[in-house]
Amino acid sequence: MSQNHLETPEDLLRFKLRVAMTMEEDSLAALGELAEAAQTADIKKLFRHHADETREQIENLKKVFQLLEVPESSAPSPATKGISKHAESLIQRSAPELRDQITLSAALGNEHYEMAAYEGLILPVTAMGATDALKLLQDNCDQEIHTSEELSTRLRELLGV
């Protein structure tokens, strides 16, 4: 059966896990680009710190593949590609003074997508009772939530609201 033909909830979970792997790889690449494009040192640092966490998240996902006995692979993640493309386009057409705002907003968009993606994995894994895999997914999701809060706080500071 084609890997892309999904018939059961288990097929769907396996596919979403493969998409999550691409999502994290895209995030890692995007965070590097955002760190380059940002103008302010502490914002660059925020992106680099989350890039380090993202490397750990990729390792966690690899363990989830093992725990759920799914062969490790990736599947297309058009949403994260789109978020990056949008950011790239805004960066290219903007004055340097706007780039902290653009990069923080782009990273925030990515984090919110990741939070939703993890929730879409956490709920079926909870239903399966796969507690070890669940903990790793929850750890990743908690990092995304924490990062989104940091990004939002910094964006508010930048805009004075």
Q: Interface residues with Fe ion (CB under 5 A)?
A: 27, 54, 57, 114
Identity of the residue, 44 or 112, whose beta carbon is nearer to Fe ion in the bound complex: 112
Identity of the residue, 13 or 20, whose beta carbon is nearer to Fe ion in the bound complex: 20
Identity of the residue, 100 or 114, whose beta carbon is nearer to Fe ion in the bound complex: 114
CA-derived radius of gyration, the chain: 17
CB of 122 to Fe ion, least distance (A): 14
CB of 24 to Fe ion, least distance (A): 5
CB of 39 to Fe ion, least distance (A): 24
CB of 144 to Fe ion, least distance (A): 5
> Do 84 and 29 touch, CB atoms closer than 8 A?
yes
Collect contacts of 87-95 with beta carbons under 8 A, ≥24 apart: 87/30, 87/33, 87/34, 88/33, 91/37
Identity of the residue, 55 or 85, whose beta carbon is nearer to Fe ion in the bound complex: 55
Dihedral class, residue 6 (left if φ above 0, else alpha if ψ from -120 to 50, else beta): beta
**How many other C-beta atoms can be found within 10 angstroms of the C-beta atom of residue 107?**
28
Tokens of 128: 């399966």
